C-alpha cells in the first residue's frame, strides 16, 4: 500500500494553481518537490491538466486587435531606438499583461472549482485514486464520477507475462469485489451501476491483480496484487 499521505483540499488547490502557473517561485518549488515524492499528488496534477485542457477547448481562438498586436509586437521584437518604448514603458506593459493573465487564470480556476459540470447539484463527489506498487515505479490513475457512475482508468505500463489485469474494489473490511478486467494499453471505462456509490469513502481501496485469461476463476484475487491505492475525494 502507498505510504504517501492522504490528499487534502489544500493539495487540490495547489495542484490546480500549479497547472495554471499561479504559484510564486517558492510555492512552485514546493509543489515540484511534492510531485517528485507523492504519486497521489502527481496524479492529481495530471487530473487538473486534463480538466483545464477540456475547459480551454470551449474557448474560441481570437486574433488580437490591430492596436493590441502593435503593442505586443513592439514590446517583443523592436530594438531599442529613440522612438522605441522606454524600459519603464515595457515594464508597465508586461505588468499589465501579467495582471490580466493572472486574473484570467484565477477566473478559470474559480470556474472549474464551482462549475455545475464539475460540482453536481447533489452532494455526489468526484473521486480519484493513484494506485502504486511498493516494489516498482508503477502508478495507475483512476477517476470515479459518482454522478454518472463511471470509473475511468488511465493507460499504464506493466509487464503482465501473459496474464490479464483485473480491478478490485475493497470497501472497509468487506471482501474484494471485482470491477472487471481493464486494459493497461488503452485504459478502460467501467460502469458502476452494480456498486452503491454512497458506500465509497476514505477507507475504500482499489487494487489491481494479475489473473489468468478471462479473469479470476474464484471471484477473489488469485494472482499477485501489483498496485493498490486509497480513494481520495476531490
pLDDT digits (tens, 9 = 90+) for 37-87: 888 888 888 888 877 777 666 666 666 667 666 666 665 665 544 444 444
Percent of the chain exceeding pLDDT 70 equals 67
Q: What is the pLDDT of residue 52?
A: 74
d(CA 27, CA 15): 11
CA distances from 74 to 91, 97, 125 (A): 13, 14, 48
What is residue 82's predicted lDDT score, i.e. its pLDDT? 45
Contact in structure between 141 and 206 (CB atoms under 8 Å): no
Reported as a single tens digit per residue, the pLDDT across 103-148 is: 555 555 565 555 545 443 454 678 888 888 877 678 888 888 887 8
CA distance 216 to 209: 9
Give the model's pLDDT for residue 202.
Answer: 79
pLDDT digits (tens, 9 = 90+) for 173-183: 889 999 999 99
Q: What is the pLDDT of residues 195-205, one digit of tens each?
A: 888 778 878 89
CA distance 152 to 43: 13
d(CA 180, CA 59): 37
Confirm if 140 and 157 have CB atoms less than 8 A apart: no
179: helix, strand or coil: strand
Mean pLDDT score of the chain, rounded to an integer? Answer: 76
Q: Given this model, what pLDDT does residue 98 score?
A: 45
Cα dihedral 204, 206, 211, 214 in deg (nearest 10) = 90
For residues 149-162, give the mean pLDDT. 89
> pLDDT value at position 108?
57
Amino acid at each position: 500500500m502507498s505510504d504517501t499521505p492522504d490528499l487534502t483540499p489544500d493539495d487540490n488547490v495547489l495542484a490546480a494553481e500549479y497547472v495554471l502557473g499561479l504559484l510564486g517561485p517558492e510555492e512552485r518549488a514546493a509543489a515540484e518537490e511534492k510531485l517528485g515524492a507523492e504519486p497521489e499528488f502527481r496524479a492529481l496534477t495530471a487530473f487538473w491538466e486534463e480538466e483545464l485542457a477540456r475547459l480551454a477547448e470551449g474557448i474560441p481562438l481570437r486574433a488580437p486587435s490591430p492596436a493590441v498586436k502593435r503593442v505586443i509586437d513592439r514590446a517583443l521584437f523592436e530594438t531599442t531606438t529613440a522612438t522605441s518604448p522606454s524600459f519603464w514603458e515595457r515594464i508597465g506593459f508586461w505588468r499589465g499583461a501579467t495582471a490580466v493573465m493572472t486574473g484570467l487564470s484565477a477566473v478559470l480556476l474559480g470556474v472549474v472549482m464551482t462549475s455545475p459540470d464539475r460540482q453536481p447539484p447533489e452532494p455526489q463527489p468526484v473521486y480519484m485514486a493513484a494506485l502504486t506498487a511498493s516494489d516498482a515505479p508503477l502508478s495507475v490513475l483512476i477517476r470515479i464520477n459518482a454522478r454518472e457512475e463511471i470509473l475511468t482508468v488511465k493507460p499504464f505500463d506493466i509487464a503482465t507475462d501473459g496474464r490479464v489485469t483485473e480491478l478490485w474494489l475493497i470497501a472497509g473490511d468487506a471482501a474484494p469485489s471485482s470491477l472487471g478486467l481493464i486494459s493497461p494499453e488503452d485504459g478502460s471505462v467501467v460502469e458502476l451501476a452494480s456498486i452503491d456509490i454512497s458506500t465509497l469513502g476514505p477507507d475504500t481501496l482499489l487494487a489491481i491483480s494479475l489473473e489468468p485469461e478471462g479473469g479470476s476463476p474464484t471471484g477473489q484475487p488469485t494472482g499477485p496484487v501489483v498496485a493498490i491505492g486509497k480513494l481520495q475525494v476531490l
